[in-house]
Chain A
């Protein structure tokens, strides 16, 4: 039985663990990115590479030390270095003495045969295609509940009466979803989890700001890579909506693009009419949509040296002006000190609050006059 591992992106590992087990593989669970991950990543990755490459590098070293033999990851589309990272990771790991192999899943819509061949390679239990399909369906259901639970915490946290209660409940219910196995169990556990988060005591009258989060997929999905910015914002009384979740991304890259992503491309079209790699186009498009939906601000998360996000950042200056929405960019790298980020977030929240209050006054004035 080969020992399989995969990148850690938020809580999605719970799904992949189940899926890999179902196919008959032993799983080495990737640890939450931590100081040791960064140390290994920085040591073995090229200096100029971006944070996602370094974190994954570190994660793979950690899992290889625990005996991982096969890494499963996804490729990238468009002109972004991340598309080649899987191959690069393999070369580096082999050269430092880990004889691992790596399976890189490309988008099935453009590489269907290749996709099936790779699924077969992971199918240690020799399940029928039909059985595999059932496994995928269960995994998908789990992933959806994991995403929904996380989304719900973004709404509840800024309104919680007792600081930290949402996070506490969230940590607990993740285990419920994690241990559920059959379709029925997953649905029950998922619904119970959502209900538990919804039941956290809240102040419905609280004046909560709404902020959209855009940027590169890895630093959006893995809280350890963005200094838990969403939790920090929640504690500052800000409801966040992240522009990307694994379920949404998978839909866009498996069968056909969902309506949502097409609208994002439309929204970005006046500024970036083509794919510039990574998620640069989406960052711009989502910002336009957040502005139109009346959000108070947008935060862009980008790995330091990420070209698509650098391009987007420059353009976001204009989007911010045209659509009258404040935009704050964070370039993330290996720094773990939170002070700089806290200062900027607190100032950004002050700015949005004053802007909102001021707009309210203006409206009141015009109505009165």
Chain B
């Protein structure tokens, strides 16, 4: 069976999907990056290979996410695409007439406005990570609530308390203040959900025309409390696609498919690379006062990629 591989290497999670020609998801993996993207990609690939039926043949591979170049050179991707395009492509595969995509991941959040199937506008959080998955993770850990229960807890609240949402430092000190005053935890958690949604709409969503259908994806879409807060605030129904947490990878797989249909061949190196040794190193260039920090990745003893230079000096491998 012909299938396509999509890899999304984000700050918090690394997601891998294998999608058949008919768009069926044959394997979907969501694992933590834990600051070690190479290990995550290798173990993710090995695990994915184990999930697949024997007759699957990968006809194309795509990568996205902040680690897309790393993943791209490691697996031999046919397409390396930014996450905005990947998410937009994936959203319109499931909801073809989608007009708004809300995506909240670990480190960044974005809004994508689409009309007639094309992206007409987008924004990403610029200077602050308030309202992203990492902050929710951190607060769940502080309150000792499993992140999976966070949303349900918010839904059980009857009266949300107001939490400042503009800045994580403000939010945290507000939460601590309210907790010490004796407010119920569920109300504080619900208040936090509302604050994050308020911040998202005022910051990332500022000035954007949010029309239905609205698709909500990314890891934070698992949080029922945030979904409910969006619905209350926008007064619109929010659609969460079945594979909400791996949508970037699905988009990358779809883009890889479009690419190999054009080129007729794939650069994918195969799942065997999971067994190869990869390592990275870095150095300061010193060629000019910029002193760029150059990072290199080695496959066995061969350099396959370099990043961080501001000029082309290190482009030749």
Contacts and interface: CB of A to CB of B under 8 A. Distances in A.
Contacts of A343: 66, 82-84, 124
A224 B289 CA distance: 11
Contacts of A331: 126-127
Interface in B194-224: 206-207
Contact of A350 (B66, B85, B126): B85
A227 B121 CA distance: 23
Interface residues of B, number: 26
A148 B3 CA distance: 51
Interface in A263-292: none
A167 B122 contact: no
B290 interface: yes
B116 interface: yes
Nearest to A326: B121
Given A32-B289, A34-B290, A228-B310, A355 B315 contact: no
Contacts of B83: 343, 347
A21 to B, nearest CB: 22
B282 to A, nearest CB: 13
A344 B127 contact: no
Contacts, number: 74
B22 interface: no
Interface residues on A, range: 35 or more
B119 interface: yes
Contact of B311 (A167, A339, A344): A167
A344 B84 CA distance: 8
Contacts of A32: 288-290
A36 B286 CA distance: 13
B280 to A, nearest CB: 15
B118 interface: yes
Interface string A313-333: 010011010000010011101
Interface of B is mostly: loop
Contacts of A36: 289
Contacts of B179: none
A35 interface: yes
A351 B87 CA distance: 13
Contacts of A35: 289-291
A281 B206 CA distance: 21
A163 interface: yes
Contact of B84 (A317, A330, A347): A347
Interface string A151-187: 0000000000001100100000000000000000000
Contacts of A111: none
B110 to A, nearest CB: 9
B290 A350 contact: no
A351 B291 contact: no
Contacts of B180: none
A36 B108 CA distance: 29
Given A314-B207, A326-B120, 6 more contacts: A164-B312, A227-B310, A338-B310, A343-B82, A347-B85, A350-B82
19 contacts: A32-B288, A34-B288, A34-B290, A34-B291, A163-B315, A167-B311, A224-B290, A227-B310, A318-B207, A326-B120, A340-B108, A342-B82, A343-B82, A343-B84, A347-B122, A350-B119, A354-B118, A354-B119, A355-B118
6 cross-chain pairs, A with B, having the tightest CB-CB distances, nearest first: A317-B207, A347-B84, A34-B289, A346-B82, A164-B312, A354-B118
